[in-house]
């Protein structure tokens, strides 16, 4: 696990100044926002988001306009779980943190280990606004080999290897108010989506026991639609009364023309008291005039970020 801040990322001040200029230029290209773009959180709420960055690595980090848009998207939320970081060097995600902090220096990054059964490894990460949220305890990668060890060792050949990329978990508390929760980040293997999604209640039970906290939120690119997953199965995996759906089957999280709910946010029923009632997607192709910048939506990602808003002072557990 790695925790970083922009001050320690090794990126020079000249890069930060250049990024600031890019932010100003891009601000001129922002178009009228649609209803799917929610305003920033208030002092009484925190916003939590999930975003598949689509093959995020050195090549993508070398594109200033793309990186600036990604940074502005992340800066809209108090906590963002990201998926599909593919960068063995670790420099791309540090550069993105620096660009986020160029807009708001309160952001911090928690980076998980590289995971996957093949040479194509991925990492999960959490960006969080340290003025709104603080990390409680130590993050961990779910130990799906069930060997009882406190150190995760991915069992890539055993029968208990449940996930291609095991969920990455962390415990956060709001700096104001009583709301605290555990969050788990997941990117399923598409062909195994049905099986991996069915294991998530078990992950949530493990998380609640690990941290002694019953408010557990699972987010990420579940590949929970289309040929990968039958949406009718979602009710069986997360029945009402035990779970709350923050992103339901009718929400389109796919940038392509096909209507697909690949990305999800599902919480334990105890989080119902904290949920403010607002959730949705961020349609960045409506937020930015990408064509004027010489970009396509897929240059940013093939997924829209999904988000939900929570009260900071309604938590009673």
Is 187 among the residues known to form the active site?
A: yes
| Token pair for 153 | 């060792």
* CB atoms inside a 10 Å sphere around CB 100: 26
Q: Is 309 a catalytic residue?
A: no
β-sheet bridge partners, residue 309: 47
Q: What is the DSSP string of 245-307?
A: ESS-TT---BSSSS----EEEEEEGGGGGTEEEEEEE--HHHHB-TGGGT--HHHH-SB--EE
Residue that the structure tokens 């993508």 belong to: 60
Instruction: State the chain's maximal CA–CA distance in angstroms.
Output: 54
Give the N- to C-terminal CA distance of the chain in Å, as an integer.
28
Active-site annotation holder among 38, 84, 166, 187: 187
User: Which backbone phi and psi does 203 adopt, to 5 degrees?
Assistant: -65, -40
Q: What is the Cα Rg of the chain in Å?
A: 18
Length of the chain measured in residues? 317
Residue in the structure block whose two tokens are 């709420």: 45
Q: Residue 196 in 3-state DSSP?
A: helix
Catalytic residue among 38, 84, 122, 303: 122
Cα 81 from Cα 50, distance rounded (Å):
5
What span, in angstroms and rounded, lies between the C-alpha atoms of 124 and 292?
Answer: 31
Active site members:
122, 187
């Amino acid at each position: 696990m790695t925790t970083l801040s922009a001050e320690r990322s090794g990126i020079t001040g000249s890069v930060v100044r250049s990024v600031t200029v890019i932010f100003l230029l891009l601000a001129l290209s922002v178009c009228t926002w649609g209803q799917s773009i929610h305003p920033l959180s208030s002092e009484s709420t925190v916003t939590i988001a999930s975003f598949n960055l689509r093959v995020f690595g050195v090549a993508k980090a070398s594109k200033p306009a793309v990186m600036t848009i990604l940074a502005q998207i992340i800066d809209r939320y108090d906590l963002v779980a990201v998926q599909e970081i593919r960068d063995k060097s670790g420099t791309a995600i540090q550069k993105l943190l620096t660009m986020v902090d160029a807009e708001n220096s309160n952001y911090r990054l928690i980076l998980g280990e590289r995971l996957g059964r093949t040479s194509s490894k991925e990492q999960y990460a959490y960006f969080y606004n340290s003025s709104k949220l603080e990390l409680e305890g130590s993050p961990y990668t779910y130990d799906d080999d069930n060997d009882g060890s406190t150190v995760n060792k991915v069992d890539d050949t055993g029968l208990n290897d449940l996930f291609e990329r095991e969920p990455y978990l962390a415990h956060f508390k709001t700096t104001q108010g009583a709301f605290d929760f555990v969050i788990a980040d997941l990117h399923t293997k598409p062909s195994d989506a049905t099986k991996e999604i069915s294991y998530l209640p078990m992950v949530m039970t493990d998380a609640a026991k690990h941290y002694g906290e019953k408010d557990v939120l699972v987010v990420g690119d579940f590949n929970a639609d289309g040929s990968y997953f039958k949406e009718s199965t979602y009710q069986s995996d997360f029945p009402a009364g035990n779970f709350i759906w923050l992103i339901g089957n009718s929400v389109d999280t796919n940038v392509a023309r096909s209507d697909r709910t690949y990305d999800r946010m599902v919480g334990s029923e105890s989080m119902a008291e904290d949920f403010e009632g607002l959730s949705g997607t961020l349609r960045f192709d409506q937020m930015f005039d990408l064509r004027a910048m010489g970009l396509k939506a897929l240059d940013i990602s093939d997924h829209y970020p999904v988000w939900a808003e929570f009260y900071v002072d309604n938590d009673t557990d």
